[in-house]
């Protein structure tokens, strides 16, 4: 934790200083859109009087601030990390004067590759009394503590104490009382001020999940399946009846095909657990009774898309609704009081259709709200339910304040087989219609993911630079049910890539895109899709930009050879001749257009060697290729300067390749 620093100085963040009048510098779109969110990981104190949030510094660094909700207050920094290697992801209030923060770092550890380490720390709001809550190893520990656990219950009413999962490894203090053979994930009650610990659930070597009733009692316990010493996609869940210590079978859930029941939250008043289960091939929300009967009740389902979110609020995280995404994300509230509050706020903020409760005070009288839209990165508001006052608090992306952003509209386009594929079309700001524009098809990552209507910094940047941008929800995307997901975007690559190519052809057919000025840009699986599209039909796209792409499916599997998830990744990719057919690095000679690759050398998701292999194969085939890499960045490249470079270089590359 050497790079975590306490920061007690008061900073005048966001306070304007009068400067001599001068000409405004020219707008730097790459810098503005590439900047990390100016406010993230925000939470409200139990008494509702202060918020804590994270703001970026140089590189991958960040500072945690505490700010009073009183108008005119100034933020005070309480912790910082310089990003080399430690980073701060989120902080939670465990008492009115104390916070717990999730910290992580990635390091290269041959022969394993890049290894992710996480830790949970606690610190006072004034920056004092920093404590590491995660278990720590020593010279006698067998193995290394990569996972630092998570807080699973904030224990309202128990000042500064929490329940958290903690990872235990055997300690070979032979012949000593310090020795221990404990192994696996357990649950501990821990006082975050003095590190007093009480063991609640003994460590289990295969444990992956514990769910409490938000009153300090663990009610659900999940263990990962094992076969030949390797993880499987199946997690088996047990439950306890109220007042009992005995475990009973609850369900199994296969995270590869979403079969079974996946528990998420316990309602102690109703004595049920809410979770996800498929209905007619799509995820729906069900409840199971925890009284021994396992009585099942359908809570909410959709005939068109997955219901993929339980909406919870308060420090006791009680369930108040569900959410799903069709053309736009929508929420159905079960709690009539919360429903009335959100309806009132929608009327007050009609320009921000995307709205949710981020956090609340302990008594839920004060709510922290986030509201945004396709052309608004978002604003945090405070709503006092007693006085009905709504206070504008913080903006999510200060660099884009005052910048005219593009509107996003849902569309459908026909695939080669006539199936209508949904997507999102973003035109340059102010353009209601378009003819003959330079255009980009921007497939999402995953592949088990989907895009949604709302602000997206990548598509907004390219739209600001004059491109029409189409984000296709190709078959293989998640969220639309089994029939749409097929076998996943790797196993069903021909259909998925066919839909990506069809998106480009549709842009040309509709006259939106000039056929000579059409490119494909993608991140992760999206980068893979762009490269594989150029292999499949070199005539559609005139340039490819791929960020952190998978380029060889066999190599992708081998990256996990030394990890317990090797069987899971192997099942995702599959076996057979199609694995080579689906690997763009194996067919680089078919790519006839310029390619620009970006990759971070500390990528934990996809090894940088994938891009290096792709670049080598393209050069050997005589193709035009450039690889830009950073030694200290991971898959998400959470560095404002690096992202600005990525945007600026990709824009310059596309303009040259497309003759703009």
Mean pLDDT, rounded, of the chain: 92
Measure the CA–CA gap between 637 and 643, rounded to whole angstroms: 7
| Cis preceding-peptide flag for 49 (omega within 30 of 0) | no
Is 148 inside a domain boundary?
Answer: no
Distance CA 318, CA 322 (A): 12
pLDDT band at 173 (very low <50, low <70, confident <90, very high): low
* Predicted confidence (pLDDT) at residue 62 exceeds the cutoff of 70: yes
The b/e string for 220-237 (b: 16+ C-beta within 10 A; e otherwise) is bbbbbbeeeeebbbbbbb
The structure tokens listed for 216 are 């300090």
CA distance 468 to 318: 42
pLDDT at 138 over 70: no
Confidence of residue 112 (pLDDT cuts 50, 70, 90): confident
Does a structural domain hold residue 172? no
* Helices vs strands, H then E, count in the chain: 11, 36
Q: What is the mean pLDDT of residues 358-370?
A: 95
Assess if residue 422 is contained within a domain. yes
Confidence of residue 274 (pLDDT cuts 50, 70, 90): very high
Q: Which of 163-172, 372-381, 404-413 has the lowest mean pLDDT?
A: 163-172
Whether residue 505 contacts residue 497, with contact meaning beta carbons closer than 8 Å, is answered with no
Q: Which residue has the tokens 């998400």?
A: 636
Half-sphere exposure of 16 (CA within 13 A, CB side): 4
Of 408, 505, 397, nearest in space to 453 by CA: 408
Residue 24's pLDDT band, with cuts at 50, 70 and 90, is low
Residue 3 has pLDDT above 70, yes or no: no
pLDDT band at 228 (very low <50, low <70, confident <90, very high): confident
Segments forming the whole domain that contains residue 510:
408-657
Does a structural domain hold residue 50? Answer: no
**Token pair of 11, please?**
């900073």
Residue scoring higher pLDDT (9 or 80): 80
541 part of a folded domain: yes
Q: Residue 6: which pLDDT band, with cuts at 50, 70 and 90?
A: very low
Q: What is the mean pLDDT of residues 584-612?
A: 97
Q: What is residue 18's predicted lDDT score, i.e. its pLDDT?
A: 35
The rounded distance, in Å, linking the Cα atoms of 551 and 583 is: 6
Q: What's the confidence (pLDDT) of residue 21?
A: 44
Around 379, how many Cα atoms within 13 Å sit in the side-chain half-sphere?
Answer: 15
Q: Indicate the SS3 state at residue 336.
A: helix
d(CA 133, CA 193): 10
Instruction: Determine the average pLDDT of the residues in 569-593.
Output: 95
Average pLDDT over residues 17-39: 76
Q: In this structure, is residue 69 part of a structural domain?
A: no
- What percent of the chain has a predicted confidence (pLDDT) above 90? 86
Classify the phi-psi angles of 475: left when phi > 0, otherwise alpha if psi is within -120 to 50, otherwise beta.
Answer: beta
Q: Name which of 83-87, 225-229, 365-369, 492-496 the model is least confident about.
A: 225-229
Q: Residue 124's beta-bridge partner residues?
A: 98
Residue 59 has pLDDT above 80, yes or no: yes
Which residues are 600's β-sheet partners?
A: 630
The structure tokens listed for 176 are 């000593």
Task: Provide φ and ψ at 581, rounded to 5°.
Answer: -60, -30
Using the predicted structure, report yes or no on whether residue 137 has a pLDDT greater than 90: no
Q: What is the pLDDT of residue 183?
A: 86
Q: How many domains does the chain have?
A: 1
Q: What is the pLDDT of residue 143?
A: 59
Mean pLDDT calculated for residue range 184-189:
95
Q: What is the pLDDT of residue 111?
A: 86
pLDDT in tens, 532-574: 999 999 999 999 999 999 999 999 999 999 888 899 999 999 9
Kind and range of the H or E run holding 555: helix 553-558
pLDDT at 433: 78
Domain assignment present for residue 256? The answer is no
Please give the average per-residue pLDDT across 21-46, as a whole number. 88
pLDDT value of residue 463: 97
pLDDT of residue 17: 30
pLDDT value at position 391?
93
The confidence score (pLDDT) of residue 5 equals 34
* Average pLDDT of the residues in 459-474: 98
User: Is 341 within a domain?
Assistant: no
168 strand-pairing partners: 184
Q: Is 374 exposed, middle or buried (0-12, 13-18, 19+ CB in 10 A)?
A: buried
Q: What's the whole-number mean pLDDT along residues 605-621?
A: 97
Q: How many C-beta atoms lie closer than 10 Å to residue 14's C-beta?
A: 15
CATH of the domain at 489: 3.40.50.1820
| Segment holding 316, helix H or strand E | none
């Amino acid at each position: 934790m050497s790079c975590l620093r306490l920061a007690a100085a008061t900073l005048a963040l966001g306070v304007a200083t009068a400067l001599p009048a001068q000409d405004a510098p020219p707008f730097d779109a790459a810098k503005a859109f590439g900047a990390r969110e100016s406010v993230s990981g925000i939470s409200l104190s139990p008494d509702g009087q202060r918020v804590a949030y994270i703001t970026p510094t140089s590189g991958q660094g960040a500072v945690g601030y505490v700010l009073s909700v009183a108008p005119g207050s100034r933020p005070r920094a309480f912790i910082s990390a310089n990003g080399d290697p430690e980073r701060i992801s989120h902080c939670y209030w465990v008492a009115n004067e104390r916070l717990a923060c999730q910290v992580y770092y990635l390091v290269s550890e041959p022969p394993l590759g890049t290894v992710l380490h996480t830790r949970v720390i606690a610190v006072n709001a004034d920056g004092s009394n920093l404590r590491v809550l995660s278990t720590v190893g020593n010279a006698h520990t067998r193995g290394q503590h990569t996972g630092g656990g998570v807080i699973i219950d904030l224990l309202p009413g128990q000042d500064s104490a929490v329940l958290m999962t903690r990872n235990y490894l055997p300690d070979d203090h032979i012949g000593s009382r310090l020795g221990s053979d404990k192994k696996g994930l357990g649950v501990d009650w821990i006082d975050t001020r003095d590190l007093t610990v009480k063991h609640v659930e003994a460590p289990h070597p295969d444990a992956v999940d514990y769910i409490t009733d938000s009153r300090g009692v663990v009610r659900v316990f999940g263990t990962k399946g094992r076969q030949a010493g390797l993880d499987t996609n199946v997690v088996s869940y047990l439950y306890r009846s109220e007042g009992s210590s005995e475990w009973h079978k609850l369900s199994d859930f296969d995270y590869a095909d979403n079969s079974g029941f996946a528990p998420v939250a316990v309602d102690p008043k109703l004595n049920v657990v809410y979770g996800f289960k498929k209905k007619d091939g799509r995820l729906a929300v069900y409840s199971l009774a925890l009284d021994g009967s396992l009585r099942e009740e359908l809570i909410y389902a959709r005939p068109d898309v997955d219901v993929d979110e339980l909406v919870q609020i308060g420090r006791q995280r009680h369930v108040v609704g569900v959410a799903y995404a069709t053309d736009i994300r929508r929420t159905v509230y079960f709690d009539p009081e919360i429903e009335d509050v959100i309806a009132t706020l929608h009327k007050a903020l009609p320009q921000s259709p995307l709205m949710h409760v981020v956090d609340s005070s302990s008594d839920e009288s004060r709510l922290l709200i986030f509201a945004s839209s396709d052309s608004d990165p978002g604003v945090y508001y405070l709503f006092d339910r007693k006085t009905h006052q709504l206070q504008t608090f913080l903006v999510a992306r200060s660099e884009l304040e005052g910048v005219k952003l593009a509107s996003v509209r849902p569309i459908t386009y026909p695939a080669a087989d006539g199936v209508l594929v949904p997507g999102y079309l973003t035109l340059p700001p102010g353009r209601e219609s378009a003819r003959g524009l330079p255009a980009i098809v921007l497939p999402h990552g995953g592949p088990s993911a989907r895009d949604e209507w709302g602000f997206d910094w990548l598509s907004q940047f390219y739209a600001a630079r004059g491109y029409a941008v189409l984000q296709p929800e190709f078959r293989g995307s998640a969220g639309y049910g089994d029939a749409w997901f097929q076998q996943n975007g790797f196993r069903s690559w021909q259909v998925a890539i066919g839909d990506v190519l069809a998106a480009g052809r549709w842009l040309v057919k509709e006259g939106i895109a000039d056929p000579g000025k059409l490119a494909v840009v993608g991140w992760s699986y999206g980068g893979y899709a762009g490269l594989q599209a150029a292999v499949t039909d070199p005539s559609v796209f005139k340039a490819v930009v791929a960020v952190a792409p998978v380029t060889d499916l066999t190599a992708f599997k081998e990256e996990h050879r030394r990890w317990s998830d090797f069987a899971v990744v192997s099942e995702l990719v599959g076996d057979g001749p199609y694995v080579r057919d689906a690997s763009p690095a194996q067919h680089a000679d078919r790519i006839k257009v310029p390619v620009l690759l970006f990759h971070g050398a500390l990528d934990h998701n996809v090894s940088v060697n994938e891009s290096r292999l792709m670049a080598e194969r393209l050069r050997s085939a005589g193709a035009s290729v450039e690889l830009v890499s950073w030694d200290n960045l991971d898959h998400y490249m959470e560095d404002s300067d690096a992202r600005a470079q990525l945007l600026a270089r990709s824009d310059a590359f596309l303009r040259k390749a497309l003759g703009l």
